[in-house]
Structure 1
Amino acid sequence: MFATYFALLVLVVTHASAWLPEVQKHILALDGENLFERNETAPGNSKRWLPASGKVRGVNLGSLFVFEPWMATNEWSNMGCGSYTSEFDCVAALGQTQANSVFQTHWNTWITQGDIQQMQSYGLNTIRIPVGYWMMESLVYSDSEHFPQGGLQYLQRVCGWASDAGFYIIIDLHGAPGAQMAQNPDTGQSAPSPGFYADYQYDRATQFLSWLTTIIHSTNSMRNVGMIEIVNEPVQDSGAIGTLRSSYYPNAYSAIRNAESTAGVTSNNYLHVQTMNALWGAGDPNQYMSNQYFMAYDDHRYIKWDSAVAVSQSAYLSDSCHNNRNSDNENPTIVGEFSLSVPDNVQWTSGWAPTSQKNFYSQWFAAQVLNYEKDTNGWIFWSWKTQLGDYRWSYQGK
């Protein structure tokens, strides 16, 4: 919906020592016209309201390497996974050989080079790629864990397309060993309890981060990867996560830096190491960090699950205009996930239906991104595509 008609070309000037998207000197239409100086009403919906301020403006490649069945039930069913809740369950049921085949077909088709080109034409400059630890296949316990194999070559390929198109790339450890949240397929498994919060699982995650860092710095197709998120959305009860902040965070940071040192990477080319911010609710990520050089922070904002905000269009617009998503003063912060979805019990009612309320959703999108750009280093929408037929979750609009 929000990027259907205007094809924007973003000319991004990058600076190695910052290793983030830098100042955009122009945002132009492909015909060379400056869209921000146009006064006429654009057909349909466009991205013209965004300021040319050099902020991160991106999309998540959701359900590419960590499949979330709710986003694409037809794809999931066609893969033979329809009766299973997660990648783990489907691979266990299909067997390794068949699972590898169907998942590799999915990786080959879910995000194509055409998708990357379309993102570029919409004026986006960043992609965030959720991955699971099982991409490092030697970490998987072959007798008890079940995940598809062969994903690395597809990750390198999509990063190559994105690098060629000038995108900044964030790779996010979305599925941690043992699962960082219970009964949540977006960890790759529907675990009965979060098993990540143990030293041996932390060790596996740091091995993964070291391995990934080495690949990033030695592979040309991954040259535009500038940030690794060391775990997505840990549980929000700080009492339940034990040593996540005191042990895993500093050890994960050190694993990345040690891999860079071994590879001869100079400090101005370090990766940003990203954690969820304090607003997420898992405690202060900096509390035990003796070194915060090239740290970064991730904020996720889904108002539909915030009971403190009244379920009304005016309340949603007001919160999105005024809620400071960097009130904890962690810099740089990026709003790494947000959407236009509203509570399940009202989302298809007449007052919230996407077909009849396009004006509201356009205003709400603008309110969110303008506020995120004011208070943080930018935003990344969840997600690029779904099979929901609902633009509230799909930047592509399908």
Structure 2
Amino acid sequence: MDDGTTFTYSNQFGGYWYYDPENPLTNYACAQSWTPPINETFQYGTDNIRGVNLGGWLVPEPVSHIRTRFFGPAPALFEPFVNTTYPAVDEWTLSYNLMNETSQGGLSGVMTNHYETFITEQDFAEIAGAGLNHVRIPLGYWAIETWAGEPFLEHVSWTYFLKAIEWARKYGLRINLDFHALPGSQNGWNHSGKLGTVNVLYGPMGLANAQRSLGYIRILAEFISQPQYSNVVTIFGITNEPMGTTMGQDQLASYYVEAYDIIRTASGIGEGNGPYVLYHDGFFGVAQWAGFLTGADRIAIDDHPYVCFEGQSATPYSQRLTVPCSSWGAMFNDSMTAFGLTTAGEFSNAINDCGLWVNGVGDGTRFEGTYDGYAYTGDCTPWIDYQNWDDAFKQSIEQWALASMSALQNWFFWTWKIGNSTVTGKVEAPQWSYQLGLQGGWMPTDPRQADGVCTPTAEFDAPLSAWQTGGQGAGNTAGSAAAQYPWPPATISNPGFVSAAADLPTYTPTGGQVTLAAPTFTAASTTVSASVGSGWENAKDTVQKYTAIQTCEYLFPWVGPTAPPAPLCGNTNGRRDDGEEEAYAFPAPTPPPAGSS
């Protein structure tokens, strides 16, 4: 590995790694005998996605909020700052705390060490060896840049995403790049970077934040559409869990149509030209998107089915094993027909909300009746004390996992790895760790065991239509799509205040063309022959990134519903004239002084 350590690659499924230091972009590796090698086409809709998330790696998170995962895959980053006067509850507040943690190298030192050690090449090797063929990698916008006043460590996570591409290529894995955290926040949850309110397609900064996000989607799309990377990064999840029920489905659809046009401008049309464009269902349910953008080239819809945040029950796994098939099988099967490729971007083995920080730092659990007025259901201890689980309990979890995999068909388990707590020295959310489940004996050692478990509920009649996979007819979207969902939408919800898009702040695409850095390769005593690309696939795409208009007024991007500036433009008092984006006051307690604890 990069640090000089070695490990033995074990793959019982006929997979093999391949790496040529003289030509490091070679695509010969194969994850398993039944998975096409990287230099062949993965037939989505026929070949099943069996994947895991690399949660908590490039977007660390301690907790989340309602209807999504709550705990953090990397609790050790946050635990030192839980009891400070400025608790770390998201990456924003973590970053402020780390700026003062000079003993460990500050923000840059701690975060770089986390990126370097939490996920390594060995994890990619183990994932392929576990019979899996995809990884979903959450990435925040600060991998590209930050604006003044935003505390995130910029650029560095992109360096490690490039490592992920290299390691995935080496072991025959394909990547779903998930744009996980947008400026302003697309859902108000902590994994969007900052806990608070929705500010994308909602509120006075909703249009401006969406514009900025679309600009970053363009930059990412131009990079991953280059032929050096398109065989590895085959799916682009353009926005993780947008709170569509707050934004409005028409507004979200307009954003999705615009993003599709941006990505296909970068990639071109047809199989082999850039990634599948993956839309989250916005919590409307996949059925509500049936027929959306019929004829579009390689689009997919994503849902994150969890049961653990619903009504709590002490009923054991062994008596609930029909739930995945009955709840999800028909829904996903129908969507494969009515929409096209349908994925479960996240799911887990948890059937209750027991676990460290499941509902927030310092909050209790629904199950134990210590959270949000819920009645007591039972004691969480036996549900998380995996070191004392007996074989029967482990087998029941494995059967739950197999039923879930069968029902969902194309899936990404959340998550591959959960870090140990610095307090207890062990994983405190065991039902969420695929790796721990393999080590402990409650995850299937061969995910193909799931095939047929939900028969006949989940039996999609493959293949997908030709246009859905980049074949004949791909890209022939209905002419009414742009008219039905114009960009920008006419209104952006801003309850109690002005909502006409024309009356809200906007940015301008005059900020220059930003390209992402390409990987660098070195090899001892050899000549590296590899064209890593320019970072921009379509030279005819000359649209620049969004930036502030120097004569216009803006609010804090995470402000929430309020009155927009009046007038929007023309008043230059207080505006910068040096070409830099404006810094905004952070409406929160002052960060602790250096050295405080």
Indicate the TM-score class for this superposition, using the shorter chain for normalisation. 0.7 to 0.9
- After the TM superposition, which residues 301-312 of structure 1 pair with which residues of structure 2 at under 5 Å, given as runs? 301-307=305-311, 311-312=315-316
Between 1:227-236 and 1:8-17, the stretch displaced more is 8-17
Q: Is the 8 A contact 1:156 1:221 kept in 2?
A: no
- The equivalent residue for 2:402 is 366
Cα 1:277–1:322, aligned 2, differ >3 Å: closer, same or farther?
Answer: same
Cα 1:217–1:160, aligned 2, differ >3 Å: closer, same or farther?
Answer: same
Partner secondary structure for residue 275 of structure 1: strand
Q: Is 1:392 aligned with 2:462?
A: no
CA distance in 2, matches of 1:218, 1:305: 40
Partner secondary structure for residue 55 of structure 1: coil
Question: What TM-score comes out, normalization by structure 1 length?
Answer: 0.78
Match of 2:300 among 296, 301, 309: 296
Query: Which one has more relative contact order, counting CA pairs under 8 Å at least 6 apart?
Result: 2
- After the TM superposition, which residues 98-113 of structure 1 pair with which residues of structure 2 at under 5 Å, given as runs? 98-113=106-121
- How far off is 1:110 after superposition? 0.9
Superimposed CA distance per residue, residues 166-225 of structure 1 (whole angstroms, 9 cap, x where no aligned partner): 11110111112211112x2111111x2111122211111111111111111337356400
Max radius of gyration: which structure?
2
- The equivalent residue for 1:74 is 76
Cα 1:121–1:287, aligned 2, differ >3 Å: closer, same or farther?
Answer: closer
Match of 2:54 among 58, 61, 64: 61
Q: Is the 8 A contact 2:81 2:97 kept in 1?
A: no
- After the TM superposition, which residues 291-370 of structure 1 pair with which residues of structure 2 at under 5 Å, given as runs? 292-307=296-311, 311-313=315-317, 316-323=320-327, 324=329, 325-326=331-332, 327-328=334-335, 329-344=338-353, 345=367, 346=378, 348=380, 350=382, 354=386, 355-356=389-390, 357-370=393-406
Question: What TM-score comes out, normalization by structure 2 length?
Answer: 0.53
Task: Quote the RMSD (CA, aligned, Å).
Answer: 3.2
Unaligned runs of 5+ in 1: 24-53
CA distance in 1, matches of 2:173, 2:52: 11
- The equivalent residue for 1:89 is 93
CA distance in 1, matches of 2:289, 2:58: 26
Cα 1:395–1:104, aligned 2, differ >3 Å: closer, same or farther?
Answer: same
- How far off is 1:331 after superposition? 1.5
- How far off is 1:88 after superposition? 1.1
Letter in 1 for 2:74: A
CA distance in 2, matches of 1:365, 1:347: 23
Partner secondary structure for residue 122 of structure 2: helix
CA distance in 2, matches of 1:101, 1:222: 32
- The equivalent residue for 1:118 is 126
CA distance in 2, matches of 1:117, 1:111: 11
Partner secondary structure for residue 392 of structure 1: helix
Cα 1:297–1:230, aligned 2, differ >3 Å: closer, same or farther?
Answer: same
Between 1:123-132 and 1:354-363, the stretch displaced more is 354-363
- After the TM superposition, which residues 378-389 of structure 1 pair with which residues of structure 2 at under 5 Å, given as runs? 378-387=410-419, 388-389=427-428
Q: Is 1:172 aligned with 2:172?
A: no
Cα 1:55–1:99, aligned 2, differ >3 Å: closer, same or farther?
Answer: same
CA distance in 1, matches of 2:284, 2:169: 30
Partner secondary structure for residue 52 of structure 2: strand
Partner secondary structure for residue 76 of structure 2: helix
CA distance in 1, matches of 2:282, 2:401: 24
Q: Is 1:147 aligned with 2:152?
A: yes
CA distance in 2, matches of 1:341, 1:21: 28
CA distance in 1, matches of 2:301, 2:402: 22
Superimposed CA distance per residue, residues 263-317 of structure 1 (whole angstroms, 9 cap, x where no aligned partner): xx76542310001237654983467647522101112111112349995535631
Matched positions, count: 351
- After the TM superposition, which residues 253-272 of structure 1 pair with which residues of structure 2 at under 5 Å, given as runs? 253-261=260-268, 267-272=271-276
CA distance in 1, matches of 2:211, 2:226: 23
Letter in 2 for 1:382: W
Q: Is 1:186 aligned with 2:209?
A: no
- The equivalent residue for 1:48 is none
Q: Is the 8 A contact 1:278 1:285 kept in 2?
A: no
CA distance in 2, matches of 1:219, 1:80: 45
Percent of aligned pairs with the same residue?
25
CA distance in 1, matches of 2:83, 2:299: 38
- How far off is 1:335 after superposition? 1.3
- The equivalent residue for 2:256 is 249
Partner secondary structure for residue 345 of structure 2: strand
Between 1:75-84 and 1:319-328, the stretch displaced more is 75-84
CA distance in 1, matches of 2:135, 2:413: 9
Letter in 2 for 1:246: A
CA distance in 1, matches of 2:118, 2:231: 22
Partner secondary structure for residue 369 of structure 1: helix
Cα 1:80–1:351, aligned 2, differ >3 Å: closer, same or farther?
Answer: closer
Unaligned runs of 5+ in 2: 1-9, 16-31, 63-71, 354-366, 368-377, 420-426, 440-597
- The equivalent residue for 1:129 is 137
Letter in 1 for 2:172: G
Q: Is the 8 A contact 1:178 1:194 kept in 2?
A: yes
